[in-house]
Amino acid sequence: MSNNQTVGTIDKFDDYQGHQIDKLTLSNANNVSISVITLGSTLYELNVPDKEGGVRNLVLNFEHSQDYFENPFYICMGIGRVGGRIADGQLVVDGKQTQLPQNEGTTTLHGGPDGFNTQIWQGEIGKQDGNDVIIMHHLQKSEDDGFPGDMDATITYSLSDDNVVSMNFSAKSSEDTVFNPTQHTYFNLGKTSDIMSHQLKLNAIQALKLDDKKIPTKDRIDVEGTPYDFRKSKSLGDAINAMSNTKEKGFDDVFAVHPDAHNIIAELKDPDTNCSVAIESSRSGMILFTANSFTKDHMNFVRTNGVGHPHEGVAMEPMILPKPGQEKDFSEMTIKKDQSVSYAIKYHLSF
């Protein structure tokens, strides 16, 4: 057996409303580690070695479970059954309409009020190809979140010896239903309190035009000649500044992405630390959210000693591209009763 193994451990994180929350960690031989907490299957840390001989966490996190719920921005949480917005909470599966619980005015956002992120997952360390992996499991009941079917959901996290973090989301349901999960990771690859000096490349020539509830319309934005054009790596800060006359004052947008030959859809880099992450996904969409309204309230992030800042991190959320809200077409994310479906998201790290 090689000595390059990835090793897993389980520790108690804290207690939340009478439940013990655990933290599961994987470490490889390059001093890279990830940890995931059982609350919401939340990516808690993604540590890489830094030039000073220590480690640096590349994702936003909080010290306590409670903080994750006082903050409304799904900080690094597991998202399901469906990432993004379902207009008026009206889901249609096989021609049958279901009224889902709504959690953003009339909209069902990120799986609704009882989505994956609100659940306490069962975490264990398993084995894959001789390496330890983190396995998070949860039975998402229809009576709890209002979606059709009881869904057996598993998210498996692995870390390779060439520093690729893989997340595999798989599900099987007792009825036909929908599945379009993601991980709401916020990256900050640098040492400063925002991501304005990061560079971003996106394999996207169009974004969806959203209505005032951020629901996709049938119109598209051609990125060419607009701040949405990330086809060549460019300053994320400049692009955010170019959006300063919009209501959002930055990006909270759904891009139609074109995975390249290696299924890479996005690359984020911090020129200062030379740290980068390439995001691999074979799905057709991605939300780019640049944390425009982050303030110091309920934003007590560990990396900035308990104070939050606008644009402190950037979230890139791979998913199946949603259809225009008015079409109520969920066919691409529909999964059949007893069918096993899985989607992968990978972060290729260099530092």
Q: Which residues are annotated as a binding site for beta-D-galactose?
A: 184-186, 252
- How far apart CA 154 and CA 133 sit, in angstroms, is 12
Nearer to ligand GAL, 72 or 126 (CB): 72
Q: Which of 73, 147, 187, 251 is the binder for ligand GAL (CB under 6 A)?
A: 73
Closest contact distance (angstroms) between CB of 289 and ligand GAL is 4
Nearer to ligand GAL, 228 or 289 (CB): 289
Under 8 Å between Cβ of 147 and 98 = yes
Under rule CB under 6 A, residue 288 binds ligand GAL = no
Q: Which of 22, 88, 132, 252 is the binder for ligand GAL (CB under 6 A)?
A: 252
Binding-site residues sit at 184-186, 252
Please give the structure tokens belonging to residue 191: 């040492």
Residue 91 bridge partners (DSSP): 98
Which of the residues 303 through 322 are near ligand GAL (CB under 6 A)? Answer: 317
E strands, 174-247, are: 177-178, 182-183, 186-187, 199-202, 204-210, 216-222, 234-235
Nearer to ligand GAL, 96 or 213 (CB): 213
Which of the residues 82 through 111 are near ligand GAL (CB under 6 A)? Answer: 109
Exposure letters 185-217 (e unless 16+ CB within 10 A, then b): bbbbbbebbbbbbbbbbbbbbbbbebeeebbbe
Size, binding site for ligand GAL by CB under 6 A: 8
> What are the angstrom distances between the C-alpha of 2 and each of 161, 232, 346?
11, 39, 23
Under rule CB under 6 A, residue 257 binds ligand GAL = no
Q: Which of 86, 278, 287, 321 is the binder for ligand GAL (CB under 6 A)?
A: 287
Residue from 45, 110, 138, 184 carrying the catalytic annotation: 184
Closest contact distance (angstroms) between CB of 73 and ligand GAL is 4
Residue from 110, 311, 317, 348 carrying the catalytic annotation: 317
Q: Which of 68, 169, 187, 289 is the binder for ligand GAL (CB under 6 A)?
A: 289
Closest contact distance (angstroms) between CB of 263 and ligand GAL is 21
Under 8 Å between Cβ of 61 and 313 = no
Which of the residues 199 through 228 are near ligand GAL (CB under 6 A)? Answer: 214
Under rule CB under 6 A, residue 62 binds ligand GAL = no
Count other C-beta atoms under 10 Å from residue 25's C-beta. Answer: 20
- How far apart CA 345 and CA 264 sit, in angstroms, is 10
Count other C-beta atoms under 10 Å from residue 17's C-beta. Answer: 10
Q: Residue 324: how many CA atoms within 13 Å on its side-chain side?
A: 8
Closest contact distance (angstroms) between CB of 44 and ligand GAL is 17
Our answer to whether residue 184 is catalytic in this structure is yes
Under rule CB under 6 A, residue 251 binds ligand GAL = no
3-class SS of residue 138? strand
* Maximal C-alpha separation, the chain: 58
Closest contact distance (angstroms) between CB of 287 and ligand GAL is 4
Our answer to whether residue 52 is catalytic in this structure is no
Nearer to ligand GAL, 21 or 109 (CB): 109
What is the identity of the amino acid at 230? F
Under rule CB under 6 A, residue 186 binds ligand GAL = no
Under rule CB under 6 A, residue 59 binds ligand GAL = no
Strand order in the sheet with 7-16: 7-16, 19-27, 33-37, 42-49, 55-57
Nearer to ligand GAL, 255 or 289 (CB): 289
Q: Of 305, 24, 345, 7, which Cα lies nearest the Cα of 184?
A: 345
What is the identity of the amino acid at 44? Y
Q: Of all residues in the chain, what percent are helix, strand and coil, respectively (each to 5)?
A: 10, 45, 45
Under rule CB under 6 A, residue 74 binds ligand GAL = yes
Under rule CB under 6 A, residue 187 binds ligand GAL = no
Which positions are catalytic?
A: 184, 317
Q: Name the residues that contact ligand GAL, by CB under 6 A.
A: 73-74, 109, 214, 252, 287, 289, 317
